[in-house]
Chains A and B, each alone.
Chain A
Amino acid sequence: MRDKRRTDLIALAALVCTVVVLLLANRYLDDYKIRIINLSGIYVTLGLSMNLINGFTGLFSLGHAGFMAVGAYTVALLTMPIPMKEMNFFFQPIVPWLANVEVGFLPALLAAGLISAFLGVLIGAPVLRLRDDYLAIATLGFAEIIRVVFTNTQSLTNGALGLKGIPNYTNTWWSWGVAFFTIWFVSFLIRGSYGKAFMAIREDEVAAEAMGINLFKHKVLSFAFASFFAGIAGGLLASLLGTIDPNMFRITLTFNILLIVVLGGLGRIAGTVVAAVIVTVMMEALRFLDESINLGFIQLKGIPGMRMVVFSIILILVVLLRKEGLFTRLKGRESSYAEN
């Protein structure tokens, strides 16, 4: 009990510090750095969202890019001014029911979260009822399908052309406000009885079920929350960048989030927050790896994708050096055999 109070105080102190840092940053930093701060906040939300399902509940989902795409397009289509829509959809007009819609950022974000959560339940439920071993494959497939669908639904998403001129509502207050909301939500969820039930499922499904915990209901619940936050983060990203297209939401995006979760520690909130910031900053700092490097006497040709290689190596090292490893922490495989 006292521990909790201390954690709360630390969290409060972190909140105050962040507000001060954001105030100063907005005043003194250039746009490029502000953008990194925004991205960091968005990745905090994404990391926690994935950790809820992969770290706390012990399931393995790889669908984040898909849920982000859903959220991003929802926010883009709901917030874009009506004349802007007409300009975007020159190839084929937008569906009539969306043509004259323009709502505020907050309702658009909420819609992004809810639609994403709804889709999460829709694809999660059949898999979670039968064999959640296949959740990783099903969600990965879902993310790819979403990308292909969005490429081909010309009158809904403008297809491969993408959407331009999405209003830039996302600022540091939005990105970090949502991040803190997510931190608060996940912390309080985990602290309460439901969160403990999620962790019980992660630890031992057979025992959890024998203690009266409805596995399906709790897994779907956790998955729906994770999809909700992924959708919102996607919405924030769309509004930050102003331009989106289906190919932004590839598996590498999910991979970045997985890296954050693994670096930060499965089932760890503070670690995830720190890892999200570090990975986002590193992603920018290591950008030079993809570009050509001029060492004065020799010109090294840039290798596109080099950053990803570096990140992959980091991921492998973390998994190898952490004794508990990525998959054993997720779920003791032997636990599904109920011999005793």
Chain B
Amino acid sequence: MLKIENLTMKFGGVVACSSFNAEVKRGQIVGLIGPNGAGKTTVFNVITGVYKPTEGQITFSPREGEQHRLVGLKPDRIAQLGICRTFQNIRLFGQLSVLDNIFIGNHLRLRSNVFSSVLRLPGYTAEEREIYEKSMYLLEKIGLQDFRNEKASSLPYGMQRRLEMARALATNPKLLLLDEPAAGMNPQETNELIGFIQEIKEEFDLTIFLIEHHMEVIMEISEKIYVLDHGVLIAEGSPGEVQRNEKVIEAYLGVG
């Protein structure tokens, strides 16, 4: 579904990621781990078009027999193709309501033009009703239906994380990128999160690529793991293989 080939990203003198290769297969949950500053978020930023890589190719195949080269595309185009993400430092539409945040996630699939939205023509209102119902469903799924009229920025941290995921789901992604979804969560919340990720994967037929610091999360749900250190891929394989890998142990327990 997603193939990253020979990806290099330099910021001036800083090489955030160098000659990185990875593949995410349809229906998999794939993990990306590594110490702080290893270049994990940079990989996500390049996939989603926030940065144009210095070198390398990324191909995305939302359906069998359909291939898109992502390098050079704008973030909104990539989202329309079916890749959506969450952010490590939550980026909600803070002044807007919880419901509106999810509502906006649907905007990219809207077919009506702006005039039919202002005139509230039947085509638009039918679409809006659908969006509203879908948004309410997603709100219930993350248990925030009672908070739908609150400002997004007023929610506690854990809820904001869930809201960000629901907003990403509203875009109907095929591939979901999660950047440290368990950051700042306690063990119980983390457990719930694991269940939640597996649940949405089944229900929405997703493929998931996930960055995580919590080892227990990544080890439990990933089928395959890539390990980055200083922008270099130092290991890849099943959770068991990666856990036994000496370079990985060194990167995590050593100086870094």
Kindly state whether residue B124 has any CB partner on chain A within 8 Å.
yes
Kindly state whether residue A339 has any CB partner on chain B within 8 Å.
yes
Residues of B within 8 A of A188 (CB): 117-120
Interface residue from A195, A197, A210, A215 paired with B48 (Cβ < 8 Å): A210
Interface residue from B92, B100, B124 paired with A196 (Cβ < 8 Å): B100
CA distance A188 to B85 in the complex (A): 30
With A207-B91, A210-B48 in contact, do A197 and B104 touch (Cβ < 8 Å)?
yes
User: Is B84 within 8 A of A211, CB to CB?
Assistant: yes
User: Is B104 within 8 A of A209, CB to CB?
Assistant: no
User: Is A196 within 8 A of B103, CB to CB?
Assistant: yes
Residues of B within 8 A of A209 (CB): 74-76, 79
User: Is B108 within 8 A of A211, CB to CB?
Assistant: yes
Tell me the B residues contacting A by CB distance below 8 Å: 41, 45, 48, 50-51, 74-76, 79-80, 84-85, 87-89, 91-96, 100, 103-110, 112, 114, 117-120, 124, 127-128, 131, 167-168, 171, 179
With A203-B96, A340-B179 in contact, do A212 and B76 touch (Cβ < 8 Å)?
yes
CA distance A340 to B119 in the complex (A): 38
Residues of A within 8 A of B108 (CB): 211-213
Residues of B within 8 A of A189 (CB): 114, 117-118
Cβ proximity bits A200-222 to B, threshold 8 Å, 1 near / 0 not: 10011011111111110000010
Interface SS of chain A: helix, strand, loop or mixed? Answer: helix
Interface residue from B41, B96, B118 paired with A339 (Cβ < 8 Å): B41
Question: Which residues between 221 and 236 of chain A lie within 8 Å of chain B, taking CB atoms?
Answer: 221
Q: Known pairs A189-B117, A193-B103. 14 more at Cβ < 8 A?
A: A196-B104, A199-B93, A207-B93, A210-B91, A211-B79, A211-B84, A211-B104, A211-B105, A212-B84, A212-B107, A212-B109, A213-B108, A338-B51, A340-B179
With A189-B114, A192-B120, A196-B96 in contact, do A211 and B89 touch (Cβ < 8 Å)?
no
User: Is A212 within 8 A of B79, CB to CB?
Assistant: yes
Chain A proximity of B222: nearest CB distance (Å): 21
User: Is A204 within 8 A of B92, CB to CB?
Assistant: yes
Enumerate 11 A-B pairs (CB-CB under 8 Å) in ascending A order. A200-B96, A203-B95, A203-B96, A204-B92, A210-B50, A210-B85, A211-B168, A213-B76, A215-B76, A338-B51, A339-B89
With A193-B103, A339-B89 in contact, do A210 and B118 touch (Cβ < 8 Å)?
no
Kindly state whether residue A118 has any CB partner on chain B within 8 Å.
no
Listed from nearest, the 9 A-B pairs whose CB atoms lie closest are A212-B108, A212-B79, A192-B117, A203-B93, A340-B88, A207-B91, A340-B89, A209-B75, A338-B50
Q: Pick from A199, A200, A212, A338 the residue with the most CB of B within 10 Å.
A: A212
Chain A proximity of B161: nearest CB distance (Å): 13
With A193-B131, A338-B50, A340-B89 in contact, do A213 and B107 touch (Cβ < 8 Å)?
yes
Residues of A within 8 A of B95 (CB): 199, 203
Chain A proximity of B170: nearest CB distance (Å): 8
Chain A residue nearest in CB terms to B167: A211
Chain A residue nearest in CB terms to B80: A212
Tally of chain A residues near chain B (CB < 8 A): 28
CA distance A213 to B75 in the complex (A): 9
Kindly state whether residue A169 has any CB partner on chain B within 8 Å.
no
Kindly state whether residue A311 has any CB partner on chain B within 8 Å.
no
Chain A proximity of B122: nearest CB distance (Å): 14
Chain B proximity of A248: nearest CB distance (Å): 31
User: Is B103 within 8 A of A206, CB to CB?
Assistant: no
CA distance A196 to B114 in the complex (A): 12
Kindly state whether residue A174 has any CB partner on chain B within 8 Å.
no
Kindly state whether residue A134 has any CB partner on chain B within 8 Å.
no
Residues of A within 8 A of B89 (CB): 339-340
Kindly state whether residue A288 has any CB partner on chain B within 8 Å.
no
Chain B residue nearest in CB terms to A189: B118
Residues of B within 8 A of A255 (CB): none
Chain B proximity of A256: nearest CB distance (Å): 26
CA distance A193 to B106 in the complex (A): 9
With A197-B107, A207-B91 in contact, do A212 and B171 touch (Cβ < 8 Å)?
yes
Residues of A within 8 A of B88 (CB): 340
Interface residue from B94, B124, B131 paired with A203 (Cβ < 8 Å): B94
User: Is A214 within 8 A of B76, CB to CB?
Assistant: yes
Residues of B within 8 A of A212 (CB): 76, 79-80, 84, 107-109, 171
Question: Which residues between 156 and 203 of chain A lie within 8 Å of chain B, taking CB atoms?
Answer: 185, 188-189, 192-197, 199-200, 203
Residues of B within 8 A of A199 (CB): 93, 95-96, 100
Chain B residue nearest in CB terms to A187: B118
